[in-house]
Structure 1
């Protein structure tokens, strides 16, 4: 009976050893799996922190550069235009060089400019001081950021930086209609090169711009300074109405009355 008992004991011991070994292996596998899981989770967390830190660093650098006026324009998504720093527009116009002047008026001067991405623009530097200058600037920004019509001059962006007020428009290669109606600067001098068909198209497109302001905007917009120099022509002589600094919002009620005083340019307004 002794040998048989010893054999049974050895078999039981072997089973115990196998079970313990298997348990140890399973434990090691579980521990290794848990280690890999924790390591992967920690790695993802560290990568996320790294990306966040990089984003914060880029944002901090962008803010610092923007304060120095060395960064590109910021898109104002709620209005669909860009906000520029004065230094950016100073650079775009070659330091507001006289060679880049494309127009002058009581508001100031308009300069030809080129943005960093190569887009040509017209930059209006408003130098009219006081409340009227502020009101004209605010009116143009307010109107042109909400009006959408192919026959109105498009606003690319604006600048209100340390007392400087500038408006940035799409560039109209052929300037104002007045220059083509009176090439030598006087109503009796020079011969216009605009043919009849082009004149009719310009008149129709300018009229469509006014129709949009009067009939398709609520409340309607009264321009109050509609004249040939405020009708601009692109490279293909398509017309767009410009200069909304003197514009006024009309009544939003059908047949409503709007009181306004006579404004605009002398010779272009009705005598009454």
Structure 2
């Protein structure tokens, strides 16, 4: 784990400690359950506490995306039909939407863009995890969903510094996360991991968040980090919730995503990753349509 001790970093961490970036209760409790390896009954109990999450999960479970002939009317029934891990993923998605829809105006994101991008990376991470044989691909879904949480706190409490990063980025020699590092002394992944640790997330999630832009610096959970890194890059090339900043980086991202050294870490090559990219796009397009319907 990187140790960052500068005034801005400490200021941002203190905002989390003061509960000025609250984590939805459902997400927090589900992650704790993941650590303790508990049962479907426990999952059902947590989801039932938030009726807005229940409603959204059931709408999705009954959507054309899953295609069940019978109506699913309870969370218990959804777990039977969709499976334990799939219902957890839906609950994470439904619970995270409000915090993700805060908007990131200082990053050039409208109110939907961060959520769209996060969902894209979540689905991409899961598809990649399945392809490379990760034991529980749904864990990668959570990592992808939350990989950009650091942007939320920076956007809200470091506008002046973010403006300086923009000015450096516009010179054209650095990616945006590198411009952040130049100005802040850290990037949104670093502060995102600090937030995740304050919320007592397991270390694999924290590590994936921290190094999703610079996976070569990670010392542990190497495959997890490279999966989220690759899914993040693929999401940008699909132009699904890229944001103003990332749209300028798409060509650079295309080159970086398919760099041989990145693919080798996951046993992939340029040919099968292009097929995986198609799978991600098709899954994402269909799921987003159903999710928008469930949110309305």
Using the size of structure 1 for normalisation, the TM-score is: 0.27
Q: Which has the higher contact order (CA 8 A, sep 6+)?
A: 2
- The structure with the largest helix share of the pair is 2
Using the size of structure 2 for normalisation, the TM-score is: 0.26
Q: Which has the larger radius of gyration?
A: 1
- The structure with the largest strand share of the pair is 1
